[in-house]
Amino acid sequence: MISSHVGKRLGVICGGTGSSKFTTAISELIAEQSDEYDLRFIANVADNFWYHGVYVCPDVDITTYALSRKLDESKGWGVSSDSFEANEVLTGFSSSSDSWFQLGDKDVGLCLKRAELMQKGWLLSDITRYFCTVFRSSHMVVPASNDSVQTFVRTIIGNLHLQEFWVKNKAGFDPMGIDYTGISDALPCTEAVDYCLERVFICPANPVSSILPTISLRGFRKALSRSKVIGISPFLGDRPFSGPAGGFMKAMGEEPTSFGVAKLYSKFLKIFIVDNSERATTIQNIRDIGIEVVKSQTKIDSKGSGMRIAREIMNLF
Ligand code: FO1
């Protein structure tokens, strides 16, 4: 149940699949053990898209499901024990029918409700707050923006929306560049920026497709530069924990390592948590650009390991 407690503000900037274990662990730790903090989970919106007439907001929904204990943890997206009958109907229309995105039946219900409320003029942030309340989420999720921002990947076959690149084409083409359409006109949700003014935790999400589209919105970088910002690297050596982060980092002209991520965040990052087995040279490179490095066991494979790392993170604030 969402607490109405007023405490020290902490903004947790998150993506979807790569962040969900951390969002779950932090929210459980705070809900069970600390009434000191007032949290908001600030979710990326640049992977949102219309699919068969419903508006899908993967990172917002993954975070909402994680905080209301509905997430299918084995996949890292969707609702646990969901069925896919609506998707099967879509597949049956023709062999070329768009059924590449496995939207579960419960997900379809949520996205239909969202589309209905959007048609009535509700803002995405109000819809998300409503869903969190109905789902009895442990904490509120705030979309980074109510405006449309979309990540496109430049490839040899043209510019692909992130979901088309990753899910439809299974990252089958080398990313040649990344564009965030709408970013210069989009306004951030005020509540999201307000929760980034004091303390911020950046989840180990894809820096290019999940974190940059949020922190590039007007007002975020200024807020972050005043704040105590702690992040966890989504890389170990040159391998990301999940997803296409390596190719995206290269497309941005950055090395696909924890050091490359630290450089992207260098204007505001105070502490970077890297895995215990991270390379010594990478750690030294990060320290050389003025960022404190803390080593830890960053893989979460049980509730116990999630609580342990969540406690370590919170002790750094
Ligand atoms: N990811 C997949 O790889 N395949 C899917 O079919 C898929 C369906 C899906 C449905 C709802 C949802 O909220 C997320 C879903 N995801 C799926 C995850 C999603 O595409 C990405 O992982 C995120 O957009 C990146 O953060």
- Residues in the chain with pLDDT values less than 70: 1-5, 95-97
Question: Which pLDDT score, from 0 to 100, does residue 31 have?
Answer: 85
Gap between the Cα atoms of 117 and 136, Å rounded: 19
SS percent in the chain: helix, strand, coil, step 5: 40, 20, 40
pLDDT for position 1 = 54
d(CA 223, CA 31): 26
Any residues with Cβ below 6 Å from ligand 1, and which?
15-17, 47, 56, 58-59, 61-62, 77-78, 101-103, 107, 163, 167, 210
Strand 228-232 with 269-275, pairing: parallel
pTM higher than 0.85: yes
Angstrom distance (rounded) from CA 201 to CA 35: 18
Pocket test for ligand 1, best of 101, 161, 212 (most atoms within 8 A of CB): 101
Return the pLDDT at 95.
66
Q: What was the pLDDT predicted at 34?
A: 72
The string of pLDDT tens digits covering residues 21-45 is 999 999 999 988 777 899 999 999 9
**Ligand 1 center from residue 282 Cα (angstroms):** 31
Cα-to-centroid distance, 275 and ligand 1 (Å): 26
- Cα separation, 162 vs 98, in Å, equals 16
The pLDDT of residue 202: 98
